[in-house]
Structure 1
Amino acid sequence: MRERFGSGSAAASRGELFPAAKRTGTAGAAPPRTEEHTMPIVTIQQGPRDIELKRELVARVTDAFVDSLKIPAEAVQVWIHEVPADSWGVAGKLTADK
């Protein structure tokens, strides 16, 4: 494991990798993560579905995050990755072969 800014430094004791960037706002430093800055990205992997079913799925997943995390719907992203039956296997067999 690499040493971080000397084992006796205050930054090292707090586990900071780039302490100067946090203190001074140095260019390239990421802003502190707060609840207002988090954006849930939900990825759903599934077989192909009708667009109406996907619309309902996206709406319900978004509603679940809005209700449970108390965030605006605009903060929620839902990505649907559709996998064709000939590219997905279950129990040692392609789902296309079932």
Structure 2
Amino acid sequence: MPTVTVQQGPRDVELKRELVKQITDAFVDAYKIPAEAVTVWIHETPADSWGAAGKLTADK
């Protein structure tokens, strides 16, 4: 049973629905498993709680 974790900043619920669908479809196609076997976790972190290249994402 594959479990996929996506770490990202906040996104609209419609975008997350599409992401979960496409990730699930990729595993169904690649592994020939039922969609029910795939779990996708989305962990959202506010832009003021992470950074890259020495700067908070909120400051970009």
Please name the residue that 1:84 is paired with: 46
1:40 matched to 2:2:
yes
Bigger-Rg structure (1/2): 1
TM-score, length of structure 2 as denominator length: 0.98
Task: Give the alignment of 1:51-90 within 5 angstroms.
Answer: 51-90=13-52
- Segments of structure 1 that go 5 or more residues without pairing to the other structure are 1-38
Q: RMSD of the TM alignment (CA)?
A: 0.4
Moved over 6 A (4+): none
User: If each structure's strand is expressed as a fraction of its own residues, which one has the higher value?
Assistant: 2
- Higher-RCO chain (CA-CA 8 Å, sequence separation at least 6): 2
TM-score, length of structure 1 as denominator length: 0.61
User: If each structure's helix is expressed as a fraction of its own residues, which one has the higher value?
Assistant: 2
Amino acid in structure 2 at the alignment position of 1:58: V
Aligned-pair identity in percent equals 82
